[in-house]
Structure 1
Amino acid sequence: MLKDFRPVLGILLRFIIIYVVLLLAYQLYLNSFAGSGLDPFSRVMAGQVMHIQNTLHYPTQLYDDVKGEQVWFYVQKEYTSRMVEGCNAVSVMILFVAFVFAFYKGIKTLVFILAGLVALYIMNLLRIVGLNIVVIDYKEYSKAAHDFIFPAVIYGTVVALWLVWIKFFALKNENS
């Protein structure tokens, strides 16, 4: 009977191990920057958001809050939002990578992961830009946008990528 569940258990075990290892590695990364403000990855992302917003004619500056480990977006002479570590979507990217690796299919796994991470990174940049624009232009929707709409965007992207991975790669019969 256990033999029937062996493939599923293997996938589940692979997912859990990869997820925990990546999560621990990320936590070590974050710990190495504790007390020095926002981590470098989040800071780069904030800078790119600022560049996109400036290009879209939403004049933006960044203000460091080292003690609070955050960066504030100052858009059109107003503090709109702040970038904290959780805004960088790395935890979502870790979840994505662990799931795809759980259904390992050779080199195409690595290619799909790289393409998926680029897509998630871009989507997250656009998510933060979108949130800042909502806060500036449609204040009455800012809470709903932050709490529901924009999280649905990033998680929806992950689910869509997972579905593509499963349908077109992981469960694809190698002989057909």
Structure 2
Amino acid sequence: MFAIYAVYLQNSQEKENGFQTASITTKVAEHTVDFLEMIGYYADSIQHDKELSVKLLIENQYTARVIEGCNSISIIILFISFIVAFAGSIKATILFSFFGSLFIYIINVLRIAFLTIMLYKYPDQQELLHNLVFPAIIYGAVFLLWVIWVNKFSNYKK
């Protein structure tokens, strides 16, 4: 799965003639903006012209950026790999992989939106927020899904 994703990135990102992120990274930024607007912020996303990232703006202020590592695909691949490694029935494995991946994607968009709001309000806390709090959200969600999987659906459950 990582090899397929690497080929996708190689064919969908542009660095030579201006920067363009992969479509999934752009889509995550767009969904983040949609959520921010839904909760009352004036938000926008703009392709960064000097790097492979999408700028997130709140009230026309560049607040955060979405890079390839923020789009949740690598985490979803890791999640699915674990589910397959500790497989249950075919149906349960496929359904849990699909709905778990969807859950991770949604949690990731909410996480980025919350990070963007916090950086807008508390820019001095960037280090703490970006390096500790927000990774804990996404990795905590994945860990919780893994625990549910092993205890409820995996053939390895007790």
Q: TM-score, normalised by structure 2?
A: 0.91
Q: Which runs of 4+ in 1 moved over 4 A?
A: none
CA RMSD of aligned residues (A): 1.3
Alpha-carbon distance in structure 1 between the residues aligned to 2:107 and 2:6:
23
Q: How does 1:1-176 map to 2 (within 5 A)?
A: 22-35=1-14, 37-105=20-88, 106-170=90-154, 171-172=156-157
Comparing 112-121 with 61-70, greater Cα deviation is found at 61-70
Q: Aligned with 1:32: secondary structure?
A: helix
Q: 1:77 Cα shift?
A: 2.3
Alpha-carbon distance in structure 2 between the residues aligned to 1:40 and 1:66:
16
Alpha-carbon distance in structure 1 between the residues aligned to 2:121 and 2:94:
40
Structure number, greater radius of gyration: 1
Aligned residues: 152
**Ranges in structure 2 where 5+ consecutive residues have no aligned partner:** none
Flag the structure with higher helix content: 1
Alpha-carbon distance in structure 2 between the residues aligned to 1:95 and 1:140:
32
Alpha-carbon distance in structure 2 between the residues aligned to 1:151 and 1:125:
13
Q: TM-score, normalised by structure 1?
A: 0.82
**Ranges in structure 1 where 5+ consecutive residues have no aligned partner:** 1-21
Instruction: Tell me if the contact between 1:37 and 1:67 (Cα under 8 Å) persists in the aligned partners.
Output: no
Alpha-carbon distance in structure 2 between the residues aligned to 1:115 and 1:132:
26
Structure 2 partner of 1:12 = none
Q: 1:138 Cα shift?
A: 2.0
- CA deviation digits over 1:42-61, x for unaligned, max 9? 11111110011111122111
Q: Aligned with 2:46: secondary structure?
A: strand
Identity across the alignment (%): 30
